[in-house]
Amino acid sequence: MTEAVLAFALIGVLGIGAQWVAWRTQLPAIVLLLAAGFLAGPVSGLIDPQETFGDLLSPLVSIAVAIILFEGGLQLNLREIRETAPAVRRMILYGAPATWGLGFLAAYYLAGLSAPTAAVFAGIMVVTGPTVIMPLLRQVRLPQRPASLLRWEAIIADPIGALFAVIAYEAAVALAEGQALTEVVIRLGGAILIGSVIAFVLARGTALLFIRGLTPEFLKAPLLIVAVLLGFVLTNLILEEAGLFTVTAMGVILANTRLASLEELRRFKEVITVMLVSGLFIVLTASTSLADITRIGLRDVLFLGALLFVIRPIVVFASTWGTQLTWRERLITAWIAPRGVVAVAVSGLFAQALSDHGFTDADRIVPLAFLVVVATVMLHGFSIRPLSVALGLTSRDPPGLLLIGGSPWTAALAATVKELGMPVLIADTNWNRIARARREGAPVFYGEILSESAEHHFNLSQFGALIAATDNDAYNALVCTDLGPKIGRSSTFQLGRMRTQYGEESPERAERHQLNFTVGGRTLFREGTGYYELMRLQREGWTFSKTRLSEEFDYEAYLASRDPATKVLFLLKADKRLNFSTTRERVKAGPGDTVVSFGPPAKNGAKPPEVAPSTTASPKT
């Protein structure tokens, strides 16, 4: 008991620790998870999952994979893929079977696997790994079309690849046991039909309970997990491992059901999935022995080369021919196809199942899967940014700024941000409020930023920060709360809350209007200045300025050259990062950083000093 508890704790520490280090270093998380698993397992022997968990290891892995696939299905909102629908549809209807067929030929002739094992493994290789694709897309600001195609292909390919593997496995076992092919086809078709019915009944039933208020909020997430496990088990009783298809279908059905609480449930599932993915990768990697790794030979490398440089390009270019994707977008899509934890987990499940039925080469599946995962993650993870930049798909500009609320203040800020070469967008539901920004050439979005239409019209990944700057404090908080997970909680800001506007004059009124501190974004400016105060200051002549610092003209010199009332808004760092001034955090400036501030006009009409007192370097304004 103590050994199992210690193993669980160590797996959690290594998994979440690797995720945190990946976030800090901007390295692909799966690379660090692989390294942590190998060090804890084959190298040091600290963790031996097979010995520690015994017969429970396989069902634990199966349940974890089921929940991961369900969470992936929850991301598949069909209304969000309209622009790339033809490309996604072709990649699934034509590309997935083609990948399976060509992968079978490569596994059979190049890797030297037997026909049954090659068919199962080729099905698994259809999976492109949403747990790896999503972090890569967050790191690289690809255009909407290729980003959407890669995201939805990864989500949909997960259950498709698992289904292909199930079909190949059941056919191989049935034929090995002397069953008729027609019997196998009927069994497979029946399992898929029944699995679809189970998924529909459980998903719609759960949604109905939520919509009619028959389930309290604190039981919604647990009920959802129980429904997922129930669907997984019921389908597996009919056909082994077919439950993977059912749970993904459940996720897709729920994702396209209008549930008010779906976003909260999705975030909870994301937390669970991060923990499961991290732990599962540590467990599966630690389960691999050094002997398995040393068995990787030339034939395995040839299979990998065919998968990366022959099969994937052929499938992508053939499937996307005639779509709206440009040749550059098709090229990067043809290169980016990393495999992740689902491929490894499913490989482990079927390797054990095939071995139990006497297929002697089934033990080669897991090492070969690890080879594909490591190679694709390393190659694609470290090459996606330079390749996208070389193809002109990723802008070298700094991350953009999304401004919520049209006003003279946001219009002036947008003009300053544009001068810095940063993407900027002002969103508002009132046409008159964005009129000034439109006249000055700033991009605007006329509509509700929280609507589904907004998600279809522009890609949030181009924005590195958000400022909610309307005159409605509650709406500012709502926007920051809703868009925080997509842009980043630490990068969503709002103007000073109601307590700042009423100040010491009416503390009781301020307390009645103040929202809970857990709702909303970070409060902008050191003083927490509110909307009406900023409008007043702008009417008095306050303007935005931007000044580049140098060794001779540092941040202290900059502050000394300004009116003490000047409000520093943010720094555009030399490495293109944004650093905002908030009520809880001061900016840390250095040479090469650009300071954007909002300040009063100089006395007697004189312009405040913008040039460093040096003949060798001066700040740019």
Decide: residue 150, CB within 10 A, 0-12 exposed, 13-18 middle, 19+ buried. Answer: buried
The residue-averaged pLDDT of 241-268 equals: 75
The residue-averaged pLDDT of 520-536 equals: 86
- Whole-prediction pTM: 0.68
What is the CB-side half-sphere exposure of residue 74 using CA atoms within 13 A?
A: 23
The residue written with tokens 């967050």 in the block is 138
Type of residue at 537: L
Which of left, alpha, beta for 45 (phi over 0: left; psi -120 to 50: alpha)? left
Task: Please provide residue 265's backbone torsions phi and psi, each rounded to the nearest 5 degrees.
Answer: -65, -40
Question: What CATH number corresponds to the domain at position 430?
Answer: 3.40.50.720
Q: What is the number of other CB atoms lying within 10 angstroms of the CB of residue 253?
A: 21
| The two three-digit tokens of residue 248, written as one number | 């993904």
What percent of the chain clears pLDDT 70, i.e. is strictly above it?
84
pLDDT beyond 70 at 513 = no
Q: Are 417 and 375 in a shared domain? A: no
Indicate the number of domains in the chain: 3
What does the alpha-carbon distance between residue 514 and residue 497 come to, in Å, rounded to a whole number? Answer: 7
The per-residue pLDDT for 80 is 55
Q: Are 448 and 570 in a shared domain? A: no
The per-residue pLDDT for 215 is 83
Residue 284 lies in a domain: yes
Min mean pLDDT across 385-394, 420-429, 446-455, 601-610 is at 601-610
What does the alpha-carbon distance between residue 281 and residue 34 come to, in Å, rounded to a whole number? Answer: 7
β pairing state of 578-580 and 543-548: unpaired
| Final residue of a structural domain among 390, 411, 429 | 390
**Distance (Å) of CA 232 to CA 121, 280, 444:** 22, 18, 46
What single DSSP character describes residue 600? P
pLDDT beyond 50 at 614 = no
What does the alpha-carbon distance between residue 251 and residue 73 come to, in Å, rounded to a whole number? Answer: 4
Q: How many residues does the chain have?
A: 621
Question: What CATH number corresponds to the domain at position 308?
Answer: 1.20.1530.20
The per-residue pLDDT for 331 is 92
Q: What is the number of other CB atoms lying within 10 angstroms of the CB of residue 180?
A: 10
| The two three-digit tokens of residue 310, written as one number | 């022959």
Query: Which range scores top for mean pLDDT: 130-134, 455-459, 580-584?
Result: 580-584
At 261-314, the pLDDT tens digits run: 666 666 666 677 778 878 887 887 887 777 777 778 899 999 999 999 999 999
Min mean pLDDT across 242-246, 367-371, 396-400, 416-420 is at 396-400
What does the alpha-carbon distance between residue 446 and residue 433 come to, in Å, rounded to a whole number? Answer: 10
The residue written with tokens 């520093």 in the block is 568
Q: Are 476 and 360 in a shared domain? A: no
H or E stretch at 404 = strand 400-404
| Final residue of a structural domain among 345, 374, 390 | 390
The residue written with tokens 């522009």 in the block is 458
What does the alpha-carbon distance between residue 327 and residue 360 come to, in Å, rounded to a whole number? Answer: 44
Q: Are 191 and 53 in a shared domain? A: yes
The per-residue pLDDT for 459 is 63
The per-residue pLDDT for 527 is 79
pLDDT beyond 50 at 466 = yes
pLDDT beyond 90 at 201 = yes
The per-residue pLDDT for 506 is 47
Residue 561 lies in a domain: yes
More confident residue, 36 or 585: 36
What single DSSP character describes residue 526? T
| Final residue of a structural domain among 496, 524, 552 | 524
Min mean pLDDT across 88-102, 114-128, 259-273, 302-316 is at 259-273
Q: Are 206 and 134 in a shared domain? A: yes
Q: Are 119 and 209 in a shared domain? A: yes
Residue 167 lies in a domain: yes
Residue 58 lies in a domain: yes
8 A C-beta contact, residue 71 and residue 272: yes
8 A C-beta contact, residue 338 and residue 133: yes
Q: What spatial distance separates the first Cα and last Cα of the chain, rounded to whole Å?
A: 66
Min mean pLDDT across 52-61, 108-117, 190-199, 333-342 is at 52-61
Q: Are 470 and 500 in a shared domain? A: yes
The residue-averaged pLDDT of 595-621 equals: 55
Beta bridge partners of 522: 493
- pLDDT tier at 374, thresholds 50, 70, 90: confident
Residue 534 lies in a domain: no
pLDDT beyond 90 at 230 = yes
What does the alpha-carbon distance between residue 562 and residue 559 come to, in Å, rounded to a whole number? Answer: 5
Which of left, alpha, beta for 325 (phi over 0: left; psi -120 to 50: alpha)? beta
Mean pLDDT of the chain: 80
Q: Are 519 and 552 in a shared domain? A: no
Task: Please provide residue 61's backbone torsions phi and psi, each rounded to the nearest 5 degrees.
Answer: -65, -40
More confident residue, 366 or 299: 299
As a whole number of Å, the CA-based R_g of the chain is 28
The per-residue pLDDT for 110 is 94
- pLDDT tier at 409, thresholds 50, 70, 90: very high
Q: Are 483 and 429 in a shared domain? A: yes
Of the candidates 241, 254, 234, the one whose C-alpha atom is nearest the C-alpha of residue 194 is 234
At 469-492, the pLDDT tens digits run: 998 888 888 888 888 877 777 888
The residue written with tokens 């270093």 in the block is 25
Q: Are 366 and 431 in a shared domain? A: no
Q: What is the number of other CB atoms lying within 10 angstroms of the CB of residue 212?
A: 8
The residue-averaged pLDDT of 209-215 equals: 83
Task: Please provide residue 327's backbone torsions phi and psi, each rounded to the nearest 5 degrees.
Answer: -65, -30
Q: Are 597 and 494 in a shared domain? A: no
What does the alpha-carbon distance between residue 403 and residue 411 come to, in Å, rounded to a whole number? Answer: 9
Q: Which domain holds residue 411?
A: 396-524
The residue-averaged pLDDT of 533-553 equals: 90
Q: Are 254 and 189 in a shared domain? A: yes
H or E stretch at 154 = helix 144-176
